[in-house]
């Protein structure tokens, strides 16, 4: 099963971090209940399938299970994409920012990110 697919009402727990209640993922293994997760954060890999997996499948999977915010750090084009407001299996809002810009994350996260440091992690 690829990371972008869903298994019941669960979300993949793989190469990202979530903002969730402390201990939420303890004992859940590779797949976890998305209830209570505020945000999923992904970073593009340098694999051949990163376009499909990281930019399409994972955000679609998070939207499908109702994760309010999905943040993608894209090292290929030096951008940060914020997906928000999941509805009927997709995010209604998508905003992309260049590395170096200040990114304000929407509810329920409500934090500002200074993305200047991300410029150091580009090939």
Quick one: tokens of 28?
A: 């859940």
Q: Find the helix or strand (DSSP H, E) in which 80 lies.
A: strand 79-87
Quick one: tokens of 73?
A: 């750090």
Going by C-alpha positions, the residue among 78, 64, 66, 77 that lies closest to residue 39 is 66
Q: Residue 121 gets which letter from DSSP?
A: G
All structural domains of the chain, each given as residue ranges with its CATH number in brackets, are 11-121 (3.90.1570.10)
Length reported for the chain: 123
Quick one: tokens of 1?
A: 């099963």
Q: What is the pLDDT of residue 104?
A: 94
Q: What is the pLDDT of residue 19?
A: 65
List per-residue pLDDT tens for the chain, 123 residues long.
334 444 444 545 443 454 677 777 788 777 777 888 899 999 998 888 888 889 999 999 999 999 999 999 999 999 999 999 999 989 999 999 999 999 999 999 999 999 999 999 887
Return the residue matching tokens 């810009």.
Answer: 101
Distances (CA, A) of 67 to 3, 39, 73, 104: 15, 6, 17, 17
Q: What is the pLDDT of residue 1?
A: 32
Quick one: tokens of 66?
A: 């109702």
Q: What is the pLDDT of residue 30?
A: 75
Q: Residue 54 gets which letter from DSSP?
A: I
């Amino acid at each position: 099963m690829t990371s972008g697919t869903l298994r019941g009402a669960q979300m993949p727990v793989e190469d990202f971090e979530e903002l969730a209640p402390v201990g939420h993922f303890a004992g859940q293994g590779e797949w976890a209940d998305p209830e209570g997760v505020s945000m999923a954060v992904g970073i593009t890999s340098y694999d051949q399938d990163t376009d499909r997996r990281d930019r399409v499948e994972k955000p679609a999977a998070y939207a499908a299970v109702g994760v309010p915010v999905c943040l993608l750090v894209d090292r290929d084009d030096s951008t940060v994409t914020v997906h928000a407001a999941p509805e009927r299996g997709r995010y209604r809002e998508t905003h992309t920012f260049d590395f170096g810009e200040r990114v304000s994350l929407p509810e329920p996260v409500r934090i500002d990110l200074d993305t200047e440091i991300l410029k150091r992690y580009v090939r």
